[in-house]
Amino acid sequence: MSSLDMRELAYYEAKFEALREILAADERVHLIGGTFLSLSPRRKLFSDLAGRYPDRVLAPPISELGFCGLATGAAMAGLRPVVDLSTGSFIFEAWPQVVNEAANAFYMSGGQTRAPVVFHLFHGLRGGGAAQHSASPQAMLWNCPGLEIVLPASPRDVKGLLKTAIASDNPTIFIDHVQLLETRGPVPEEDEAIPFGVAEVKRRGRDVTVIATSYMVQRSLTVAGRLASEGIEVEVVDPRTLVPLDFPALMASVEKTGRVVIVDETHQSCGVAAELAARIAEAGFDRLKAPIRRVATLDVPVPYSEPLEDFIGPSEARIVDAVKAVLR
Amino acid sequence: MTVVLPQLPRETLLDFCRRMLVIRHFEERLIALHDAGNFRGHYHVYIGQEATGVAALSCLAADDYIFTTHRNHGHLLGRGAEPGRLFAEILGRRDGYNQGKGGSFHAAAAGLGFLHTSGVVAGIIPLATGTAYASKALRNRRVTLCCFGDGALEEGAAPEALNLASLWKLPVLFLCENNGKYGAGRAVGTAQSDSMAIYPLTDLPRAYKIPAREIDGSDSGAVHEAVSQAVNEIRGGAGPRFIETQTVRWPGSETNWPAIPTPTNISLAWDVDAVPDKAREWYRASDPLLIFVRELVAAKQARREELAALEREIKESIAAAERFALASPYPKPEEALKDVFA
């Protein structure tokens, strides 16, 4: 179906639909936690849903380590738990269970035991989150083999990727962003599971490839629209999942344009952009017409005050500068 | 000696004895294999706790779940794991339970209910509440037995999981195997260690409103009675239970690497003169295997010669298992890249 024929939904509505359908379709699905739609007023929708499934939507104590381990164990024994960690920073409280138990279970058992658990969190600069409520842990998690990492950026993607996350037999980190919740876009009426490991070109362009993840996809699309009026055609490619990674799709765009900017909210050093840049340089250095540019969060703890937070994040201005720099 | 045999049929008692002998002779050979350079890395043995594991596991149903730790050999073998495949795993061979990906710390046998064995002391405690949560949700009456050491209670995962288990009335038995009874330099009745403020340890689960008991872990009758009662209550929907079994630490594990003071032979049940002075008291008074053997004979449930024959048979089967493991090939190097994802 072409997106022109589809109804339009807000991101939070598409995500809510996915949660509602998943709960209705599969009794093995249990949701642990209550901020899947964030703490915004949209959470009312979720609390109504929770009321309909009192045995399968649980409000746990503030024990991230405990309930992430509980969900992992429940997954090993046949359930499909989805754990809400709320703010991405809180996954650090659960780190041993996520990266040392869940991620290793299948491999370490020699393929005997699957742990199909989903860890859901909101990452990134949310506006005033400061250093302890703004983390983007996906680069650290990418350094832990055994975890699938999913980063939706549109209403259609959040619904379709959540469906796939539930069906996956692996531990999956579902990384959302509160700034996406009000984004509107086409979403098919029918059930659609978007496979992991399939990137999407969110905007076609011939001059520069911008690889962006999560909320940075939307920001890059805004920048691409502005630059088009200056005659610069930016191609925005969204990997949608880091693990598995659709590297061929990224390289296809890089080979077309020869110029790459990577926009991502993890910190710059050893971040998502760093890894993507390294892979592109290894695979296609001779196709590049300019050095790869990263637009990532600067290497400082996230500050509280608005101008400070704006300064360190991958702002529109920094994306524009980077695109123009690779065109020089 | 206050120990009593479990009130069970003779065949069951002989089965207990067989399983304890399997564990003991497996691990004594494992120590020899290590000392001969057949595998790398640190490892931990279950010697001295056999009565706890064998009696506790006998109370479970075939489809119940068991979680264990770095000290897992006794639990797997007590549940009927193949010694050859367990040796192979520890030796890093292809026929190991985990195909050589886990080793001693992580031996798992999903078919026996051991889904995942963690080498982090409290790593399994939240996971065990999870299988229990699933059993409750799926109403399949499965119980989870979660075996860990006293040190596990020092990690934050333990209290978080105890709280969840109690709050949600999960069907899990926490079996804390405290092998530090009368630990070096500690007087009976004083604080258990310099690393845990809570004493007795059962004060921790009690604080979370989980019924808890302390029993002698070298007393197979006491373990069997306590665990079967707890498992029945849990299966009936009563919520979690906690049992602390106390054993005296085997002198062979007082060093960093296990070292056998004297190879076990059931005749030690009646005469420990062959044991070096330093370790003699443990073999005389605290070895759960020798206590069990002595009691079997004293209760006229078995004759000495009969048990000696059983021991010979088991030693032969352990030798065969060892040969199987040593003959098993190493995995192909590129198998390292397999099974990251299901």
Tens of pLDDT, residues B293-331 = 999 999 999 999 999 999 999 999 999 999 999 999 999
- Chain A interface residues facing chain B, Cβ-Cβ under 8 Å? 30, 55-56, 58, 60-61, 63, 65-79, 81, 96-97, 100-101, 105-116, 145-146, 148, 169-170
Asked if A145 lies within 8 A of B340 by C-beta distance, the reply is yes
Number of domains in chain B: 1
Q: Mutating which of A107, A150, A173 best tests the B interface, going by the most B Cβ atoms within 10 A?
A: A107
Domain boundary among A165, A187, A209: A187
* pLDDT of B182 over the 70 cut: no
Establish if A29 belongs to a structural domain: yes
B41 in any annotated domain: yes
Q: What percent of chain B has pLDDT over 90?
A: 91
The minimal CB distance from B134 to the residues A66, A79, A110 is found for: A79
Region B8-18: mean pLDDT is 97
Residues A142, A44 share a domain: yes
Per-residue pLDDT tens, chain A, 328 aa: give them.
677 789 999 999 999 999 999 999 999 999 999 999 998 888 899 988 999 999 999 999 999 999 999 999 999 999 999 999 999 999 999 999 999 999 999 999 999 999 999 999 999 999 999 999 999 999 999 999 999 999 999 999 999 999 999 999 999 999 999 999 999 999 999 999 999 999 999 999 999 999 999 999 999 999 999 999 999 999 999 999 999 999 999 999 999 999 999 999 999 999 999 999 999 999 999 999 999 999 999 999 999 999 999 999 999 999 999 999 999 9
Q: Could you say which of B101, B134, B160 has the minimum Cβ distance to residue A74?
A: B134
Q: Is the pLDDT of residue B188 over 60?
A: no
pLDDT at B335 over 80: yes
pLDDT of residue A266: 98
Is B127's CB within 8 Å of A101's CB?
yes
Q: Which domain holds residue B82?
A: 10-327
DSSP per-residue string spanning A177-245: -GGGTT-EEEE-SS--PPPTT--EEEE--SSEEEEE-THHHHHHHHHHHHHHTTT--EEEEE-SEEETT
| A296-313 per-residue burial string, b: 16 or more CB within 10 A, e: under 16 | bbeeeebeeeeeebeebb
On the question of pLDDT at B189 being above 60, the answer is no
In sequence order, the 6+-apart residues with CB closer than 8 A to the CB of B334 are none
Compute the nearest-CA separation of B165 from chain A (Å): 9
- Cα–Cα distance measured from residue A31 to residue A58, given in angstroms and rounded to the nearest whole number: 6
Which CATH number fits the domain that encloses residue B199? Answer: 3.40.50.970
pLDDT-derived band at B190, boundaries 50, 70, 90? low
Which candidate, A8, A265, A294, A293, places its Cα nearest to that of A126?
A: A265
Residues A21 and A164 in one domain: yes
Give the pLDDT confidence score for residue B2 in this predicted structure: 55
Q: What is the pLDDT of residue B109?
A: 98
* Residue that terminates a domain, selected from A134, A165, A187: A187
CB contact under 8 A, B134 and A73: yes
Q: Mean pLDDT across chain B, nearest whole number?
A: 95
Helix (H), strand (E) counts: chain B: 11, 5
For residue A30, the chain B residues in CB contact (below 8 A) are 137
Q: Are residues A149 and A42 in the same domain?
A: yes
**Shared-domain flag, residues A46 and A148:** yes
Q: How many domains does chain A have?
A: 2
Say if B128 is an interface residue toward chain A (CB within 8 Å).
yes
pTM over cut 0.90: yes
Q: Is residue A193 part of a domain?
A: no
Please state, as a whole number, how many other Cβ atoms lie within 10 Å of the Cβ of residue A316. Answer: 13
Contact A146 B138 (CB under 8 A): no
Asked if the structure places residue A245 within a domain, the reply is yes
Whether B110 and chain A come into contact, CB under 8 Å, resolves to: yes
Structure tokens, A145: 């083999």
CATH number, domain containing residue A86: 3.40.50.970
- For residue B337, tell me if it sits in a domain: no
Residue B130 forms contact with A (CB below 8 Å):
yes
For residue B194, what are the CA distances in angstroms to B86, B106, B157, B250? 35, 28, 20, 20
Among the partner-chain residues B102, B157, B160, the one whose CB lies closest to the CB of A108 is: B102
Of A160, A187, A214, which closes a domain?
A187
* pLDDT score recorded for residue B254: 78
Please, is B108 exposed, middle or buried when counting C-beta atoms within 10 Å of its C-beta (0-12, 13-18, 19+)?
Answer: buried
Q: Would you say residue B255 has pLDDT above 90?
A: no
In a domain, A194, yes or no: no
Range of the domain at A315: 200-327
Query: For residue A195, is it within any domain?
Result: no
Q: In this model, does residue B185 exceed pLDDT 60?
A: no
Does A192 fall in a domain?
A: no
Confidence of residue B122 (pLDDT cuts 50, 70, 90): very high
Contacts of B104 in chain A (CB under 8 A): none
3-class SS of residue A260:
strand
Contacts of B127 in chain A (CB under 8 A): 69-70, 72-73, 76, 97, 101
- One domain, residues A126 and A229: no
Closest chain B residue by Cα to residue A81? B134
What's at B173, amino acid-wise? L
Q: Does B208 touch chain A (CB under 8 A)?
A: no
- pLDDT at residue A40 in the model: 86
**What pLDDT, on a 0 to 100 scale, did the predictor assign at position B307?**
98
Q: For residue A323, what is the domain's CATH number? A: 3.40.50.920
| Residue A270: both structure tokens together | 């050893």
